[in-house]
Amino acid sequence: MPAAILKCERVSHPPLRFIGKRSDAYPNWGDAWANDWFGEIEKAGATAEINDDSYCVLTGITPEGVEFYLGEFFPANTPVPDGFDFADLPAMDAGIAYIKGKVEEVYALTVPDKISELLAAFASEGIAASRRETSPRWISFERDNCPRFTDPDADGNVILDYAIYLN
């Protein structure tokens, strides 16, 4: 069975700070686990509600191209642990899709040539969404929730929370 979008919802968050590691390519999760990045990041304090017990990837657009941050959302102005990067985000609205399937299948729905399927799912729920391709800077985030994503079901399926920031 291919990946399926279980539901979509509109969420809002206040100004936040995302703490993690910045990269010009999709992050290497193996580095995060090998170096206990999340253990170190979580020393910053309680995460923001939007984090939802998840490890996250924040995606943005800069004049130089796409940027990614692997980490977690925290309240604005949270002190940043040594060795980590941060991004301050304004209050924003996002549409979140909960995508169920095998890992490679759920991620296949988040690539640019498949994003129209997500946008159609948002529209069916009354969420007017379009993926940002330029400024403002932040375009999307994924939440790899514990346990929805980290603990596959008996069939090997996970649920990825994939959000698109709304215009």
Report how far residue 66's alpha carbon sits from residue 73's, in angstroms, rounded to the nearest whole number: 19
Q: pTM of the predicted model, to two decimals?
A: 0.91
Each residue of 119-147: pLDDT tens digit? 888 888 888 876 555 556 888 999 999 99
Asked if residue 147 has a cis previous peptide bond (ω within 30° of 0), the answer is yes
Domains of the chain plus CATH, in order, are 4-165 (3.20.80.10)
Each residue of 88-120: pLDDT tens digit? 999 999 999 999 999 999 988 777 667 778 888
Report how far residue 94's alpha carbon sits from residue 110's, in angstroms, rounded to the nearest whole number: 15
pLDDT band at 58 (very low <50, low <70, confident <90, very high): very high
Q: Token pair of 68, please?
A: 């990614």
Higher pLDDT, 131 or 158: 158
Any idea of the CA torsion for 77, 61, 99, 28, to the nearest 10 degrees? -80
Q: Give the chain's mean pLDDT.
A: 90
Q: Token pair of 63, please?
A: 């004049």
